[in-house]
Structure 1
Amino acid sequence: MPAQTIRFYERRGLLPQPERGPNGYRDYDESVLARLAFIRSGQAAGLTLVELGSVLDQRREGAVPCAHVQSLLLAKLDEIRARQRELVTMAEELEGLIARSERLDPADCTNTQVCHILASSG
């Protein structure tokens, strides 16, 4: 993982500020590595850094955040399903425009239209 990403997570409070060795280099322990793996897994599941921060906040407060994680994942799944429905509608609209394009003759496009495929069909 790039150092810039780790510094960004530190600034956002997702990672604690690391101890420094005698040479001035940051010294990360196993808990930071586990937290980095958690962040990567959460992002792979579609969670935002803000959402992951809320999970880490609960853990810092001593709570077991499993119920919170489950609610975040359920909300994310609802968002994805809504987006899938939007994409199906968009695909149907595109299929209609493609079918329209196959029926239209480019020679019939007027100078006032940019493209009669996308012109209002109403």
Structure 2
Amino acid sequence: MKIGEVSRHSSVPTETIRYYEKIGLLPKPDRDASGYRAYSRAHLDRLLFIKRCRNLDMAQDEIRELLRLSENPEADCQQVDALLARHLDHVRERLKELAQLEKNLQQLQKACSNTGTVEDCGILGGLSAELDDLPDRRDHDNHVPGTHRPGKP
């Protein structure tokens, strides 16, 4: 299969497929006689696995670890279960943060009188006043254990 066909079957853009190859999540395919990438069914299956993991909001390193674990099908699945448990903990923490975000946005929206000028806007005033109170969002760039919060296992 050529990359366009893999893209159509998986609904994954060709640029993303190339990116997954570049970072090692998807093995590089062989090239045919004319130099085009020649993908196999195994490439498509792995791409669909990656897509399902991404739909569960798994980070690349989590997916990489699951792929590594899947290479030893006779091994105990405890490591897979532990990885999923850590990811689920992260999702639950994120849900709490989103609930707090919803409350904050509702409070800001209540500050709007719907009358007056932008200069008098309670929402903009509230955003300007609360900038120092906003949490640092950089800790959610990666779902790999130990990277969510400093000092957390």
The question of 1:51 aligning with 2:65 is answered no
Equivalent residue, structure 1, for 2:79: 68
Equivalent residue, structure 2, for 1:110: none
**CA separation of 1:23/1:66 partners in 2, compared to 1, >3 Å: closer, same or farther?**
farther
RMSD: 3.2
Q: Which runs of 5+ in 1 are unaligned?
A: 107-112
Deviates more, 1:68-77 or 1:23-32: 68-77
Query: 1:79: how far off?
Result: 1.6
Q: Which runs of 5+ in 2 are unaligned?
A: 1-6, 8-12, 131-153
Write the distance in 2 (CA, Å) between the matches of 1:65 and 1:53: 18
Paired residue total = 113
**CA separation of 1:23/1:68 partners in 2, compared to 1, >3 Å: closer, same or farther?**
same
Sequence identity (%): 33
Write the distance in 2 (CA, Å) between the matches of 1:18 and 1:6: 11
Alignment partner for residue 50 of structure 2, among 31, 39, 52?
A: 39
Equivalent residue, structure 1, for 2:32: 21
Q: Which digits, 9 at most, give the CA deviation of each residue in 1:10-60, with x for residues without a partner? A: 111111121111111111111111000000000001111111111112233
Instruction: Report which of the two structures shows the higher radius of gyration computed on alpha carbons.
Output: 1
Alignment partner for residue 8 of structure 1, among 19, 23, 30?
A: 19
**CA separation of 1:29/1:83 partners in 2, compared to 1, >3 Å: closer, same or farther?**
same
Query: 1:115: how far off?
Result: 5.2
Write the distance in 2 (CA, Å) between the matches of 1:91 and 1:9: 34
Q: Higher relative contact order by CA 8 Å / sep ≥ 6: 1 or 2? A: 2
> Is contact 1:59–1:65 with CA below 8 Å preserved after alignment?
no
Q: TM-score, normalised by structure 2?
A: 0.56
